[in-house]
Amino acid sequence: MFSRQTRYLERHWGFRDMVDRARDNRQGPKIPSSAIFLSGFGMHARRLGSLNRLEAELRIPARWEPLVGERKPSAEAMGHALARWDLACLRGMLVEAGKMGKRKKVFRRLYPDSHWVAAIDGVETNRSRKRHCSECLTRKVKVGKEKKEVTEYYHREVALQLIGVTPVLILDVEPLLPGDTEVSAALRMIERVHESYPRFIDVLSFDAFYLQAPFVKKVLNMGYGVVIVLKQETRDLYKDAQGLFLAREPQERTPWVRGEAGYENIRWLRGETQLWDEKDLTSWPQLGRPVRVVRSLEQKVKRERIAGKWTEREVVEDWQWAVIFPDETEPPAELIRCWGHARWDQEERGFCELTMLWHLKHSYHH
């Protein structure tokens, strides 16, 4: 059943070697870690959707033995082992796959670029009002007609993934622990990525709330270029940039036809992109260095299918990004625009792939 897939993985990606290094921290386990890992792999590859489904499948004689071996885990054994999993070995597999991918030139560019750009995004993976653990985050929510306030437990992670290339690759994931902000969890992850993937990434792309001087300084010190969405609420820098953009003509004006993003129910038909590029803005003194701001004003015709009917309307998007590099690097404004858009496109595709192709729609075991 799996033989073609595992033969391919073995021949091209040294799968068996990776699997043999899988570890967990159970005391005196009866079922080897590799059998747990391969059962989990098979469960996701076949989109079984739950540990119980997996257990039922594993009981069918002679079906899973070629993949998993003679000792097959129950749903309970899977949950017990996975809760004690050695994450360093999993992250090591990601690093290896990423480096091999680059070496084998498997990443295809979505637009011409020589930089390696990664984006950080947050994702919520578990929510419950009953079950919780010591690492759950909590929030108050109002429920029912009486708006009674109850505690909700949830898990949230930040993930780092390559953008502007296909196939998608998630490089690392880090949970937000009680007391964390998304920014503090992201910093832990970036520090680890910096150590385990030296020179793998050139640029990191962030959402607006990462525009915090201490954080940005640390990321620049690790040698990464930084691109951050700039929004109105983020004060002086935005206002100053806005003043300059209003006073000047755009540096580039590019009419275009046909779409750049082709989702199933959305097409971009034609439009015009105007680009402004202002360097050496000094209105973010906390950072201690000048900031470049790129603005992309995009008028386009959006063709959208709603309830089976295609409609067209004109939309205007006004994007701005703060661009800061630790050195003299100055990528063209058009490339900054591509990175900014790839970020959203990729957020769809990265997590989308995990949910659609691997059935990671919910947490399988708290």
Task: State which residue, 78 or 118, has the beta carbon closest to Zn ion.
Answer: 78
List CB contacts of 32: < 8 A, sequence separation 6 or more.
69, 71
Judged by CB under 5 A, the stretch of 70-78, 127-135, 171-179, 341-349 that binds Zn ion is: 127-135
C-beta closer to Zn ion: residue 138 or 355: 138
Secondary structure (DSSP) of 292-329:
EEEEEEEEEEEEEEETTEEEEEEEEEEEEEEEE-SSS-
Give the CA dihedral 222, 288, 229, 244, nearest 10 degrees. Answer: -140
- Sort residue 126 into left (φ over 0), alpha (ψ -120 to 50) or beta: beta
Residue 127 CB, nearest distance to Zn ion (Å)? 10
Beta carbon nearer to Zn ion, 20 or 124: 124
Which CB sits closer to Zn ion, 170 or 177?
177
Q: How far is the CB of 284 from Zn ion (least distance, A)?
A: 37
Return the range that interacts with Zn ion (CB under 5 A); candidates 32-40, 128-136, 233-241, 278-286: 128-136
Where does this chain touch Zn ion (CB under 5 A) — which range of 10-18, 85-93, 126-134, 178-186? 126-134
Nearer to Zn ion, 156 or 231 (CB): 156
**Residue among 342, 15, 362 at smallest CA distance from 168:** 342
- C-beta separation of 124 from 156 below 8 A: yes
> In the complex with Zn ion, which residue's Cβ is closer, 83 or 100?
83
- Smallest distance, Zn ion to C-beta of residue 363, A: 9
Q: What residues contact 354, with CB distance under 8 A and at least 6 apart?
A: 170, 360
Residue 21 to residue 86: CA distance in whole angstroms: 10
Choices 101-109, 132-140, 219-227, 346-354; region in contact with Zn ion by CB under 5 A = 132-140
Please state, in angstroms and as integers, the Cα–Cα distance from residue 188 to each residue in 61, 184, 192, following that order. 45, 7, 6
Nearest distance from C-beta of residue 122 to Zn ion, angstroms: 16
Show the CA angle centred on residue 83, arms to residues 82 and 88, nearest 5°: 75
Q: Does 137 bind Zn ion (CB under 5 A)?
A: no
Nearest approach in angstroms of CB 132 to Zn ion is 5
Smaller CB separation from Zn ion, 138 or 232: 138
Does 136 bind Zn ion (CB under 5 A)? Our answer is yes
Question: Which range in 3-11, 83-91, 133-141, 162-170 contacts Zn ion by CB under 5 A?
Answer: 133-141
Among 83, 87, 100, 133, binds Zn ion (CB under 5 A): 133
Binding region for Zn ion (CB under 5 A): 133, 136
